[in-house]
Structure 1
């Protein structure tokens, strides 16, 4: 019989994975029981588990865990990079990797800065903004369009589909399934049109590269469609959510917003700090491949699911003398981009575009603070703001800036 352990109801939309309940569970033991298998809560055990070859990515089981066993979404989910393992996963990852290397993204930094200033110009003089629709969504979507090679003027439609498909990472996935599948159908059709265009008119972009891989037999037509749809929604939705969470976090810690405005060189560390204490990806899933005894009574059998709780691990006082939020301090590695073979493919994009955007926002939105409660996703699964109204001291529009420094 499994020993008594605290139960965390991750499937409950009202449950908060950053709550005192979770932190108290972390003090009692490094693990807990949950609605979706077991959870690991402490930094050392989490770090070890993400590198442990006795586990594989557990996301393939996610639809079934929520009662979804067939249909368009279930079929697609089992073919995306996130759900694949072994040689198949490595082959697809090798084909996608070149577009996401650090030096490729670094070359885009001046464009990130120009885009951020352009968007802030749209609301800086009025001193109020609905941050998600007026900045986070267009910024993340337009960056994604540039990276992949989609027409940037079509960002709004792409963002709507990506937003609806992003609900598949939430704990309300079953009730959101009709919207998820409608978005999936829309994105499939859109991406297939883009592929046809690049087949006839190749360019210097990721879509054209993938079309060439398909033409030379390294990628099937289905794999190409599945990969493009996944890249579009994952690349936009997570960055948009993380930007809103970044402002929420910086506002909650006096002096940090002002420090970031004065020290734009801290943009990169600000991103890491925010993802350590307030990540959009609140858990990472692993599945046991064999019998595993993790200690303290946690014995897993093949097929058992373990959730790594990102916030709990990132704020574990055992891993750092002072786990409090401070953008001027480097803390141990966070879990916001996963780990092991499934470490986030687009982590350099997210790191750099947010590291550019956050100091610009801090400098051009002085005294910024939440202007009402806003509307938020559950703090479980993938979380973030749906609406986030912000007020600040108005500032003038600016002339196009000189090149911003590349975040180090």
Structure 2
């Protein structure tokens, strides 16, 4: 019997640390404070495709002692928690706005926005990555995608940041802030829906309002979906950008290479998400009794966590698992898998593939200015504050210095 235990609920626990790596070398799975966990790449990829499992996130509030209230009620209705026909119906309604072709058309705007933000600090030679780049970049792109007023990005980002704490291991402690953010976002999104009902436009909110008027979507489903998209679309991308920059700055040769070869932007995103993902685990729940082998026999309702970093760096799946943006490694787990694969993965992939080469090109000697402040390395993680220093450079002269060709198909 596997006696090792990983306390994922402990805010001081590091899911990328030696205790997890040691457990992976001992076996394919381990017990945790949130059910079982799978640790190796082959077993993880098989489970994510296994139809005997469903998402499993629906139990997250209850696992943390939250059994009622606004947050619990909202969480049960989000795309993350729904299964079966309701899940498929909502994904079909939302999917068109997130297709690669649609997002590809936004890439020149991503590049222009990234340069605009860098111009704001390039002559100073320093920045605080979260507040001066990652947050405005991800939030303004989200506003463009949904059709929200871009000038209101700061308020949307503030609510999204607080609501993002629902993915953290301190969720019960943060519940008052989470529910205040939910109330704010509900009110904001409902006002936008009223406006689009009266004044339809060519944007996602107007499209969803039309679906609601046609009976494909209830008014409550529309509100829940918009609140979820407003926070998930910003919070995870912002966090992943901070983790990407930290990882690349830990490998200065890779940072400089990315600045010189922007076409590596796409693979750099995949590499960062393999070794340093913001989603440190992915949850699945057994629908039936399942024997996964190696002594792990599950009962229906048992929860299994997929540990993203452990699986992504498993040496059994690749000859050399070390970080290298020129190498294509086996699939990472940063966007989930199966029917619950991340809806907005093309947005995240493309906006980061644009942003990272621009940052690297315009700050080639960038280095951390101290350790910064970080969320726990368990649950969803990322920077709270990450100061960076570099040799000051002038603002750009003319249009974007790095073209959208960095992410051309």
Aligned counterpart, 1:112: 110
CA displacement at 1:399 relative to structure 2: 2.7
Aligned pairs for 1:9-408 (under 5 A) are 9-402=7-400, 403-405=403-405, 407=407, 408=409
Rounded Cα–Cα distance in structure 2 between residues aligned with 1:97 and 1:55: 23
1:78-108 CA deviation, whole Å, 9 max, x = no partner? 0000100001100000000000000000000
Q: Distance in 1 between matches of 2:399 and 2:291?
A: 56
- 1:393 to partner: Cα distance: 1.0
SS at match of 1:174: coil
Structure 1 stretches of 4+ moved >3 Å: none
- Aligned to 2:9, the other structure's residue is in SS state coil
Query: Deviations along 1:315-335, whole A, 9 cap, x unmatched?
Result: 000000000000010000000
Encode CA deviations 1:180-214: one digit per residue, 9 max, x unaligned.
00000000000000000000000000000000000
Looking at structure 2, the residues matched to 12 and 198 of structure 1 have their Cα atoms a distance apart, in angstroms, of: 44
In the alignment, the residues of structure 2 paired with residue 65 and residue 40 of structure 1 have an alpha-carbon distance, to the nearest angstrom, of 19
Q: Distance in 2 between matches of 1:246 and 1:399?
A: 27
Residue by residue over 1:139-197, the C-alpha shift from the partner in whole angstroms, topping out at 9 and shown as x without a partner, is 00000000000000000000000000000000000000000000000000000000000
* Secondary structure, aligned partner of 1:287: strand
> Contact 2:125 / 2:393 at 8 angstroms: preserved in 1?
yes
SS at match of 2:376: coil
Report the Cα distance in structure 2 between the residues aligned to 1:311 and 1:21, rounded to whole angstroms: 13
TM-score by length of 2: 0.99
- Offset, 1:389: 0.2
User: Following TM superposition, by how much is the alpha carbon of 1:126 offset from its aligned partner in structure 2, in angstroms?
Assistant: 0.7
| 1:213 partner SS | helix
Deviation at 1:5, TM superposition (A): 2.8
* Separation of aligned partners in 1, 2:324 and 2:127: 26
Distance in 1 (CA, whole Å) between partners of 2:101 and 2:53 is 32
Cα distance in structure 2, aligned partners of 1:189 and 1:399: 42
Gaps of 5+ in 2: none
Between the aligned partners of 1:376 and 1:406, the Cα distance in structure 2 is: 29
* Kept after mapping to 2: 8 A contact 1:109/1:406: no
Q: State whether residues 164 and 232 of structure 2, in contact with CA within 8 Å, keep that contact through their aligned partners in structure 1.
A: yes
Determine the C-alpha separation between the residues in 2 that align with 1:39 and 1:4.
12
Q: How big is the alpha-carbon RMSD for the aligned residues of Structure 1 and Structure 2?
A: 0.7
The separation in 2 between residues aligned to 1:187 and 1:399, in whole angstroms, is 39
The count of aligned residue pairs is 406
Contact 1:114–1:400 (CA<8 Å) still a contact in 2? no
